[in-house]
Structure 1
Amino acid sequence: MVEKLSEKETALLQAVAFWLSEEMLSRLVDVSPAPDLLHDLAQSNYEISCSALERLGLLASEGRYWRVLQPNDDQPTLGNSHKRSDLDHLLDGFACHSHYVNELYQHHEAVTPTGHALNEVCAAMAVCGYMEATSKKTFEWTDDFGPWLVRHGAWDLDEFEPASQEEVNGALATIPDKARERLSGSLGRHKPHFVRCFFAQWIDGKWEEREWRYAPNDDWDLNLAAGIYAQLHS
């Protein structure tokens, strides 16, 4: 995977970071001890989003809280050192939090963003291929954003055509027995958990026993995952 961000990926990172930081502040400030010290309520959409914003230098972890490092009255100032993995984690927070946003939670319907910041996010998503602009005001999710949507249960893995039996058997033959048992176990039956565990170590077309990636990314082959899931949980 190329870690350096392209110009359009940098624009997407900027747009999502601004919108998501606004979301965290507006939704958490009333349940937090101070406007600049947020509590994530131990809720996944807040935890993942705040962690992603920490990677960008917008928040800092302080025990059970997140310290706001930049005021919310202007575009956040982001350096030029961010990597593709930072964007992947940010999109992970965006996808998880989308379940709680009126314009986004119906993931098989057109998105009609309200507000300038969310419109900027959708426009940047379209430039990167994660959404398609169907009119001046509406957008639709594309398969390219499937890794993030499947990971958070917004789309079902069954919506993707399974890879060929030959590809599935070839991949399974390279996965260690213990890992294969874990993927075929009861926890692996939950598709969002299955794709997370499979792709955490299925990297660049092979199983990496000593690595673990947490966020979805463009390399996720959902057709292969659909085929392997069907074989392990038929």
Structure 2
Amino acid sequence: MSKELTENENTLLRTAAYWLRGEMVLRLADASPSQELLHDSAQSNFEISCDALERVGLFISEGDYWRVKDSKNDHSVFAGQHTRSDLDHLLDGFACHSSYVRDLYRHHEAVTPTNNALRDVCLAMVKCGYMECISPKAFEWTDEFGPWLVRHGAWRLDEFEAASQADVDRVLATIPADAKERLSSSTCGDSPNFVRCFFAQWIDGKWEDGEWRLAPNDDWDICLAAALYAELHGK
């Protein structure tokens, strides 16, 4: 079972959900039946974000559309119990969509929010260790948010210090041959797909054949992934 959220994580979930909902309505309403019934255009940043917003109770899936729940229900929605998995998926949508947002898309530069909703998200990210505040108005991503940024191509694995060869050998010795073949294939040839496929089944320090996790999370060891990627793809 996914663990419960801390107070700071709950704050981050709420602020990120409010901001992301606003982004979806802003960007999808013109090509949708209404502001309350959105079509995601089969675009990844919209699909992932809308799905995450459904997980936290702000959207409802209706066939090919997403119905935006009445904002008056926000208090009751967030009075309920959410899990760390819900937050992970929401951050997945946030990271994927960030490449389309003027205040966020330069992922190696400081973030200077131009609206209060995004500033609230950044402040909540600071409390969870995913950003640091470098001035009263500016923020920088930290390595702790690396799993999400690498997954969506905003950062590269070779930007992280690779784990030791001993760690690589130990991990490779425990992964089934067919899984190693898949991780070495062109399907996992770029770092976003490599980390997605590796960490989907590398869970709590071991390979899980019967599981497939969808969203990045704090358990992703990006330094280990960097070393494995270099080993399997000669990078």
TM-score, reference length from structure 1: 0.97
Which residue does the alignment assign to 1:12?
12
Which residue does the alignment assign to 1:94?
94
- Partner amino acid, structure 2, of 1:12: L
For 1:42-61, list aligned pairs within 5 A. Answer: 42-61=42-61
Give distance in 1, aligned partners of 2:23 and 2:73: 13
Contact kept in structure 2, 1:88 and 1:215, CA below 8 Å: yes
Which residue does the alignment assign to 1:110?
110
Which residue does the alignment assign to 2:120?
120
Give distance in 1, aligned partners of 2:231 and 2:196: 17
Would you say how many aligned residue pairs link Structure 1 and Structure 2?
Answer: 234
Which residue does the alignment assign to 1:27?
27
Instruction: Spell out, residue by residue over 1:106-126, the C-alpha distance to the aligned partner (whole angstroms, 9 max, x if none).
Output: 000000001110000000001
- Partner amino acid, structure 1, of 2:193: H
Give, in angstroms, the shift of residue 71 of structure 1.
Answer: 3.1
SS at match of 2:107: coil
Instruction: Spell out, residue by residue over 1:34-56, the C-alpha distance to the aligned partner (whole angstroms, 9 max, x if none).
Output: 22110000000000000000001
Instruction: Spell out, residue by residue over 1:77-96, the C-alpha distance to the aligned partner (whole angstroms, 9 max, x if none).
Output: 42331000000000000000
For 1:1-234, list aligned pairs within 5 A. Answer: 3-71=3-71, 77-234=77-234
Give distance in 2, aligned partners of 1:68 and 1:215: 23
Contact kept in structure 1, 2:58 and 2:74, CA below 8 Å: no
SS at match of 2:38: strand
Contact kept in structure 2, 1:25 and 1:38, CA below 8 Å: yes
* Unpaired runs of at least 5, structure 2: none
- Partner amino acid, structure 2, of 1:195: V
* Unpaired runs of at least 5, structure 1: none
Give distance in 1, aligned partners of 2:76 and 2:124: 17
Let me know the Cα RMSD of the aligned residues: 1.5
Give distance in 1, aligned partners of 2:180 and 2:10: 37
Contact kept in structure 1, 2:36 and 2:68, CA below 8 Å: yes
TM-score, reference length from structure 2: 0.96
Contact kept in structure 1, 2:201 and 2:211, CA below 8 Å: yes
Give distance in 2, aligned partners of 1:181 and 1:214: 20
Q: 1:74 to 1:81 in 2, by over 3 A?
A: closer
